[in-house]
Each structure stands twice: as structure tokens, then as C-alpha cells.
Amino acid sequence: MRKASMIILIFTSSYMFVNAQTAEDALRYSRVFYSGTARFNGLSGAFGAVGADFSTLATNPAGIGLYKGSEMTFTIAPTVGYSSSIYNGSLCTDDRVNAGVGNFGAIFSIPPYDKNKSGVLKNVNIGIGFNRQNDFNNRTVITGVNTKNSMMQSYANTLNENNSQPGDYPFDIDLAVGTGLVFHDSATNKYYCDAAYGGVIQNKLIDTYGSMNELDFSLGANFSDQLFVGMTFGVPSINYYENSTYTETRTKDTIPNFISLHYQYNLHTRGTGLNFKMGIIYKPAGWVRIGASIHTPTWYPTMRDVWSSSMQSTFTNPDWNAVQSSPVGSYDYHLTTPFRAMGSIAFIIGQYGLVSADYEYVNYSQARFSSSYDGYTDVNNAIKADYQSWGNIRAGTEWRLQNFRIRGGFAYFSNPYKGGTNNSARYQVSGGLGFRAKHFFTDVTYVWSKMDQDYYLYDSRMVNPAAVSYYTNTVSTTVGFRF
């Protein structure tokens, strides 16, 4: 991620006064880790050709056409998130518990006017409800000793290299100058700091929470019990919070004047979007189903960021200690996330079970920012340069034992970065049980996932990456009723 992080850092510093969006933000809202019912999660989402599950409204809406009756579902999905980081040889761990909702909604089946069902159209189904697409709840701690430089030096470098003024960066560098952590020498007309050559313990806590959810309105139809078609009008919503705290403390008293710095940054992003999905499922034989769907790019016309920061300095001379806070920044903008296409296949083993697989194509370099004030050319160029098109794979199986079901699944979400600059692939394993009665059903699924990522505390030309691993443990429980 070295190249990507360097570009992102430059954009973040140079354009903070205008906007706070980066290529990483576009990626965050472009990656979708579909959740929903416990049955859907039990097969790791490999339902594109299986159908007859509420979560297919968000993946392949043709799945709604396989319903023979009406049903209501509700899913709770508490998650324990765990993270570990290694930075300059120091290991840190942290965890967070979140009580979430995987889905809720209903399918209404409308029989044709021909009560004998002798026509081609067997039934029309309508679905409405909510499906979770991403969970942002996590806590990460990074700690280590830096013997080469300080974040203060990266601020001084930015001012010296760009020949700019502190007031151009009101949310970070201006605060560092105002609290005496970075100072100007009129004799050389350069900016300096006390810990230019390191000797500091660096610590960062990143606390994120929120989610990305979608309200789906779907219509599906069954033709001759062989061809199923469906469409979904999706209204996704983003609610993301990030509160980070960064500190530096000298390791020895050989650094003149400086004792410590404390930097707090808070961000809240929210937005509502629109998209459209179309899909088909075809049964060439009773033992096989083939599915395909396309998702238009999601258009978020109402994105809004609100952010603020503060900085505190501590020196050997108490009279120099200072605290400064930034103004509250806000910015309205637009975001478009990439087009998606899915292909699926499922093999039905009589009344005993099934095996299914999905392939999802998505090109993360297609994400784009825009606004009435423009200002996104460089960030959009970074998105095109750093991200790639690849695919996500999901596979699952379900077996029937009278009224009970046993399920298992695996998913691989590919690395979105080009050239192996960062391995941000995500792996997911799932397993679950279910019970089916005539008018009632319930399912329980456990999902484990892991994703690795390099994280740079500041300029990647100066600092080593922290190797961060994110783990999630989710137990989803669905209760449903047929009517």
C-alpha cells in the first residue's frame, strides 16, 4: 500500500481545507459484504442461483420469483470484532462488541388470475425490507517506538516542500504550529520540530462504528417454474463514524523541550443513495439452476462529512503547554460506487441438499467523487491509479435432515489494490443450522472473517507500516413466518 498511502496522505494534507475525502473513503463505501438472513449467511451468500431467501433482494432479485407463498423474516446479528497490529516490533490487540440487525422484511406472493395455474405465469411476488451491506464497528490500537522521525517532522516537511502557510491546513498542521509543536525559523525561513530524529513512543487508537444498509423494493415473477426474473430498486444509506486519538511521548529526556503531543480527530459521514438491480434464474433441468444479475452504479447525491480536530502539547517548560481546536468542517458532495455483475450456479441433489457458487465482478477503480465545487480531479485519479477490477467468490452447501438443515460456506473478497501494494483481501467461513415447519422457521449461523491491511500513521516515505489484521465473529439468528 506504500504508493497508495503516499498519494492519499498528500491529498489529505493538501486539500483538507477544501474537502476531506480520499481514495480510501471511496473504497470503504464501494466494498459490499452482503449480510442478511442466517440461512443466507450460512452459505456465505452463495444464493444467486438458489433463490427463495429474503437476502436475494440485494444480490439477485430473481430469487424472489421462487417463493411459493408469503413470508416475514427478522434477523439479529451480534458481532465481536477483534484486531491486532504489529508496528516496529510492538504487538497490540483490541476488540469491540456490537449488537446489529442483519435484515427484516416481508415477501408477498400474488397468485395469477388463473386459479388452476395452467398459464405460463405462475405467480408474482413483491418484497420490501432491509438488508445490511457493511459493518464499520471496530477498534484498532497501534503502538511502537520510532527512532527515526516524528509526525511533527512530516508536518514541517509539508510546509517546507509546498512553500505553504499553516493556515492552509486548519485541521492538523495549523494546530501543530499553534501549540508550538512545529515552529518557524526566520533566519532560514524553514519550519522545524523538536523530535525531528525520533525517539518517541507513537500510539494511535482508531475507533470506528456505524453501518451501510439498504432498503430494497423488489418485484419478481415465475414463468412455467423454469424461468424466474426479478428487479430491485435499492436505497442504500451510509452512517460512518471515526474517532481517532494519536499521541507521541518522548522515550528519554534527551529530546529538548518536547514531552508529548495529543491529537484528536473526529469524522462523521452520512449519505443516502439509489441503485437498480436486475436478475434472472433459469432451470434447464430439475437438478441445476443458473443465475445472473447486474447492479447499476450506486449514486449518492447527498453525501456529507462533518469533522473536527484538536491538539495538545506538553513541554518541559509548563508555560509553553497549549491546546488548540480546529473549526468544525463540513462538506457536501456526491459519490458514485462501481457497477457490479454476478454469475451463479446451483446443483440440487433431489430432496437431500444443494451446492451453489457465485462469482461477482466489480471494478473498484470506477468509484468517483464530485461536487458543485469540483476539486476532485486528483482524488479520482488516485482511485483510478491505485484500485483494480477483480472478483469475489462465494460458495455454500445445504443439506436436509427431515425438518432440519445443515449449512456451510466460504467467501473470498479479492484484494482491491493494484500491483500487490497491499493485501486487503477478506476471507470468510460460515456454518449453521436451521429448522423448518409449515408456518414457522428459524436459523442460526456463525460467520468468521479475516482481513489484513497495512496502515501508515503518516507519510509512508517516513514511517513503516503497521501490519493490521481484522477479525469478526458474528452469530446471526433469523426467525420467520409463512402465511
Report the relative pairing of strands 101-110 and 90-98 from DSSP bridges.
unpaired
pLDDT given for residue 422 in this prediction: 65
Cβ contact 54:39 at 8 Å: no
Q: Quick count: other Cβ atoms within 10 Å of Cβ 79?
A: 21
Which 8-state DSSP code applies to residue 297?
A: P
pLDDT at 116: 63
Looking at residue 91, what DSSP letter applies? E
| 8 A C-beta contact, residue 37 and residue 75 | yes
Residue 394 near residue 46 (C-beta atoms within 8 A): yes
Under 8 Å between Cβ of 414 and 458: no
Cα(49)–Cα(63) distance, rounded to whole angstroms? 7
Q: Helix (H, G, I), strand (E, B), or coil: what is residue 241?
A: strand
Q: Give the count of beta carbons closer than 10 Å to the beta carbon of residue 14.
A: 15
- Taking phi over 0 as left and psi of -120 to 50 as alpha, with beta for the rest, 51 belongs to left
C-alpha to C-alpha distance for 163 and 172, rounded to whole angstroms: 17
Write the single-letter amino acid at 197: Y
Encode burial over 350-366: b for 16+ CB neighbours within 10 A, e otherwise. eeebbbbbbbbebbbbb
Close Cβ partners of 115 (under 8 Å, ≥ 6 residues apart): none
Whose cell is 470506528? That residue is 208
C-alpha cell at 69: 407463498
- Domains of the chain from N-terminus onward: 2-482 (2.40.160.60)
Helices marked H in 252-393: 377-386
The C-alpha atoms of residue 51 and residue 67 are separated, in whole angstroms, by 8
Distances (CA, A) of 477 to 3, 43, 337, 394, 447: 42, 14, 30, 20, 11
Angle (deg, nearest 10), helices 23-30 and 377-386:
60
Name the percent of the chain in helix, strand, coil, to the closest 5: 15, 55, 30
- H/E element, 448: strand 440-455
Helices (H), 125-269: 151-162, 173-178
Q: What residues contact residue 111 under an 8 Å CB cut-off, 6+ apart?
A: 117, 123
pLDDT tens by residue, the chain, 483 residues: 333 333 333 333 333 444 568 899 999 999 999 999 999 999 999 999 999 999 999 999 999 999 999 999 999 999 999 999 999 999 999 999 998 899 999 999 998 766 666 689 999 999 999 999 999 999 999 999 999 999 999 999 999 998 899 999 999 999 999 999 999 999 999 999 999 999 999 999 999 999 999 999 999 999 999 999 999 999 999 999 999 999 999 998 889 899 999 999 999 999 999 999 999 999 999 999 999 999 999 999 999 999 999 999 999 999 999 999 999 999 999 999 999 999 999 999 999 999 999 999 999 999 999 998 777 999 999 999 999 888 899 999 999 999 999 999 999 999 999 876 567 899 999 999 999 999 999 999 999 999 999 999 999 899 999 999 999 999 999 999 999
Please give the share of the chain, as a percent, with pLDDT higher than 90: 86
Task: Specify the 3-state DSSP secondary structure of 61.
Answer: helix
The CA distances from residue 476 to 115, 200, 479, in Å, are 38, 44, 10
* CA distances for 431 relative to 117, 153, 222, 344, 473, angstroms: 38, 49, 30, 20, 12
Q: What is the largest CA-CA distance in the chain?
A: 94
Tell me if 348 sits within 8 A of 356, measured CB to CB.
no
CB–CB of 244/138 below 8 Å?
Answer: no
The closest of 227, 224, 229 to 122, measured between CA atoms, is: 224
